[in-house]
Amino acid sequence: MPLGSRGRGAAPTLGSSTRGQSSGARALVACLVVSVALFTLSCQTGEAGPLGAVRGAFQTVTMPVRLLGSAVSAPLRGLGNIFSNLTADQATLSDLQGEVDELRARNAELEEGAGEADRLRKLLDLQDTSQLTSTGAHIISGSTDSWSSTVTIDKGSSSGLTAGMPVTASSGVIGQVVSCGATSSTVRLLSDEGSSISAMVQSTRAQGMVQGSATGEVTLELVRTSEQVSVGDVIVTSGLGGVFPKGLPIGEVASVESSPGDLYLTIVVDLYADPSRVEEVLVITSLTEEQQASAEDIAEADQQERGDAAASGDGSDDTTDEGGAGASSDGGGTDAE
């Protein structure tokens, strides 16, 4: 009996397990059937169907929870990125620094190229606008002594340059060639005390000479006190003497002074071109007839000289004629010096 009792007791246990497994299988099959049916219905009805409405309602209800989860997880992701950067090996950091240095060098190279292209474009614009017959050159060094103001350019006699040729930057006149080698030339700057070129006030056409000095100050000389000159007036080349083309910008009036009894104004000029900041220049190799002073310009300069002679009390015809000739040719002789 005990054995039989144990046998009968064990049989219901095995039957219950079998029935449980069958029920689970049926439930799984039912879920699969329902899922397939729902999927088929969703494909047929799209978002406009009942399932789309249910899905939309579910997303609306759960939206705050999802937003809260995203806000909480964002700082954690940031901390993870920071931790990854801090734990990057030295080789990776070295590679990244190398890439940064390379990009910086490349950026500096591009900026330098863009600056040079802009400067050359301005020179070409000046060449075209003023119709200059010229050749381009680079400034390669400054003065080699302390008592002169000169620069050296990388073009010489082999490029057709000769002493006396004018030199200009895009912003204004630089100076004049004073000596030439085969592949380089020395340019005397306008600020040098030995420099003197014919010039005029652009607005009033008052003639004078732009003169350098030992201190580097540049002045406009030989302008009578009867002339109207104001601070800010533009000074340009006059074309007298046939060396510098007429109308090239030089600078502007920085100050004007006149004392009782003076024949001439004291005019200080600020030059437009700063040789210490100029790299490319144009050397003007020849002038056209239109670029030289006209007969009217020469007559006006002669008349100004006659006025100067009369104001100084020298009224002889011979002296007046010499003064007039000097006004029309001094610019050329002095410029080419």
Main-chain phi, psi angles of 331, to 5 degrees? -55, -45
Taking the alpha carbons at both ends of the chain, their separation in whole angstroms is: 145
Nearest alpha carbon to residue 225 among 265, 269, 268: 265
| Rounded distance between C-alpha atoms, residue 266 and residue 221, angstroms | 7
pLDDT digits (tens, 9 = 90+) for 95-145: 777 888 888 888 887 777 777 777 778 778 888 888 888 999 999 998 867
Rounded mean pLDDT, 315-326: 37
Mean pLDDT of 78-82: 60
CATH label, 144-149+190-335, candidates 3.40.640.10, 1.20.1250.20, 2.40.10.350, 1.10.287.10:
2.40.10.350
Residue 156 φ then ψ, to 5°: -140, -150
Say whether pLDDT at 169 is over 90.
yes
Backbone dihedral region for residue 170 (phi beyond 0: left; psi -120 to 50: alpha; all else: beta): alpha
Tell me the mean pLDDT in the region 38-48. 60
Cβ–Cβ < 8 Å for 324, 169: no
Handedness of CA 331, 332, 336, 337 (dihedral sign): negative
pLDDT for 197-216, tens place per residue?
Answer: 999 999 999 999 999 999 99
**Domain-wise residue ranges, the chain:** 91-130, 144-149+190-335
Give residue for tokens 């109308």.
Answer: 247
- Count the neighbouring beta carbons within 10 Å of the beta carbon of residue 65: 9
Q: What is the distance between the alpha carbons of residues 144 and 152, in angstroms, rounded to a whole number?
A: 9
